[in-house]
Chains A and B, each alone.
Chain A
């Protein structure tokens, strides 16, 4: 038996919000893989659970006409990872959530729960940071949108109010079109393991300045020219880069300064790997925990950034049609 007083199976988002508002001891439960484990350990006992488990409109992935991806927060990791839109538009997000726990946990745990739980170790966290994801929170007074980069306040703390429901996770086209990326989780075991560190690097490569005239010349020529030079790092520059971490600080973070430093550099320049490994260290605040010391985490922060950047570059350069 779970130590709760009351239980409500919400039939809609509005219904859930009403119950949350009416009962100050009420908590949202989605997949339950964090909430129920917490109850077992004796935390938050005696309250009410408001379940959003059976609300169909919170499940699934969709793409709006303008290209924005809309992820239902109650989508479980298994469904997210195999979703065709996720696989084609943001494959690294699918790969990241495939590292969560084991298959049964991925069948139960949800992407919204991963975000709202507020853990810096959440496996979707680093990727979400790099995607500038926008979170739609609906409460008694209506809806508001919060960028994921402003969502976290501290370990397990977010700006979400207790009576608010995360109703949609939005990824806009300018944040994914043309990017390749890679998420690397470091853990002591290959499964059933919380991340010791998680790192996501995503890049968008563009034409080098010499090729720019041709690129501005017109659509078709550009495509043809890209076909020829696309696989050649010499003719490519890092036109955009995003670096996100989990467990590198008390909350998930972005490394904006390092991103600015690398933007515009040649994809063929080997020093980008040294630069990323060195400069991210100035933007992180890892802690020692029983899983790993601060010193080991610092080493991981550099090394995983280098590796993830290399993987992201390879995915781009391997694809000649990429523009």
Chain B
């Protein structure tokens, strides 16, 4: 059964006819071609599908598209500035070599963007807890934490 919904995706209003059975993951990937949203497990375990709904990080694979009616969705595609520059967190991932195969990266970036929206700083331990909903099979997490710390951590004291 199809129903018409309106959602704001990366700042643009989208009027879509969606199947009531669709997950937000399917709608974003298949109807809107936002392929930064990855499907890993499909059951909330890996975080590869993480997007922000009204600023809150959710696993798009466990989110019914019907719930997105009237809401604001942000994916990694929406982070690009009008002049094409990367968001600071994306730049930090590049600089810290926090990306290997890249499958987990967009999801992690979206969690980081959620944290940036809270306007506070985090210790490395706190960051570990904040990214606990993401699996990365390549990096061993250290470079990811380095990248996150660069943007969200406390300023490092300069060594003597």
Q: Is the CB of A7 within 8 A of B133?
A: no
Q: Which residues of A contact B1 (CB under 8 A)?
A: 6-7
- In Å, the complex CA distance between A4 and B42 comes to 16
Q: Tell yes or no: A156 within 8 A of B by CB.
A: no
Min C-beta distance of A195 to chain B, whole Å: 15
Chain A residue nearest in CB terms to B67:
A53
- In Å, the complex CA distance between A102 and B49 comes to 14
With A3-B21, A104-B50, A107-B56 already in contact, the answer to whether A51 and B44 are too (CB < 8 A) is: no
Q: Which residues of B contact A108 (CB under 8 A)?
A: 44, 58-59, 62-63
With A6-B1, A37-B62 already in contact, the answer to whether A103 and B133 are too (CB < 8 A) is: yes
Q: Which residues of B contact A239 (CB under 8 A)?
A: none
Q: Which residues of B contact A1 (CB under 8 A)?
A: 19, 21-23, 26
- In Å, the complex CA distance between A174 and B131 comes to 38
- In Å, the complex CA distance between A36 and B59 comes to 12
Q: How many residues of B contact A (CB 8 A)?
A: 29
Q: Which residues of A contact B19 (CB under 8 A)?
A: 1
Q: Is the CB of A2 within 8 A of B132?
A: no
Q: Tell yes or no: A54 within 8 A of B by CB.
A: yes
Q: Is the CB of A54 within 8 A of B67?
A: yes
Q: Is the CB of A2 within 8 A of B44?
A: no
Min C-beta distance of B124 to chain A, whole Å: 15
With A103-B57, A108-B59 already in contact, the answer to whether A191 and B21 are too (CB < 8 A) is: no
Min C-beta distance of A102 to chain B, whole Å: 3
Q: Is the CB of A9 within 8 A of B63?
A: no
With A105-B44, A191-B129 already in contact, the answer to whether A36 and B62 are too (CB < 8 A) is: yes
B62-81 CB contacts (< 8 Å) to partner A = 62-64, 66-67
Q: Tell yes or no: A101 within 8 A of B by CB.
A: yes
Cβ 8 A contact of B63, one of A4, A7, A32, A54? A32
B127-160 CB contacts (< 8 Å) to partner A = 129-134
Q: Which residues of B contact A191 (CB under 8 A)?
A: 129, 132-133
Mark each residue of chain A from 4 to 35: 1 if its CB lies under 8 Å from any CB of chain B, else 0. Answer: 10110100000000000000000001001100
Chain B residue nearest in CB terms to A32:
B62
Min C-beta distance of A2 to chain B, whole Å: 5
Q: Is the CB of B20 within 8 A of A7?
A: yes
**Central interface residue in A78, A103, A190, A192, by most chain B CB within 10 Å:** A103
- In Å, the complex CA distance between A40 and B134 comes to 20
Cβ 8 A contact of A101, one of B20, B26, B44? B44
Q: Is the CB of B57 within 8 A of A104?
A: yes
With A107-B57, A108-B59 already in contact, the answer to whether A101 and B67 are too (CB < 8 A) is: no
Q: Which residues of A contact B47 (CB under 8 A)?
A: 102, 104
Q: Is the CB of B26 within 8 A of A104?
A: no
Q: Which residues of B contact A192 (CB under 8 A)?
A: 45, 132-133
With A7-B66, A108-B58, A108-B62 already in contact, the answer to whether A33 and B44 are too (CB < 8 A) is: yes
Q: Tell yes or no: B43 within 8 A of A by CB.
A: yes
Q: Tell yes or no: B105 within 8 A of A by CB.
A: no
A152-207 CB contacts (< 8 Å) to partner B = 190-192
With A37-B43, A40-B42 already in contact, the answer to whether A104 and B20 are too (CB < 8 A) is: no
Q: Is the CB of B133 within 8 A of A37?
A: no
With A103-B130, A191-B129, A192-B132 already in contact, the answer to whether A9 and B44 are too (CB < 8 A) is: no
- In Å, the complex CA distance between A102 and B59 comes to 10
Q: Is the CB of A107 within 8 A of B58?
A: yes
Q: Which residues of B contact A53 (CB under 8 A)?
A: 64, 67
- In Å, the complex CA distance between A53 and B134 comes to 24
Chain A residue nearest in CB terms to B57:
A104
Min C-beta distance of A189 to chain B, whole Å: 9
Q: Is the CB of A7 within 8 A of B44?
A: no
Q: Is the CB of B57 within 8 A of A2?
A: no
Taking Cβ atoms with an 8 Å cutoff, the residues of B that contact A are 1, 19-23, 26, 42-45, 47, 50, 56-59, 62-64, 66-67, 111, 129-134
Taking Cβ atoms with an 8 Å cutoff, the residues of A that contact B are 1-4, 6-7, 9, 29, 32-33, 36-37, 40, 49, 51, 53-54, 78, 101-105, 107-108, 190-192
Which 5 pairs from chain A and chain B are nearest by CB? A102-B133, A191-B132, A7-B20, A1-B21, A102-B132
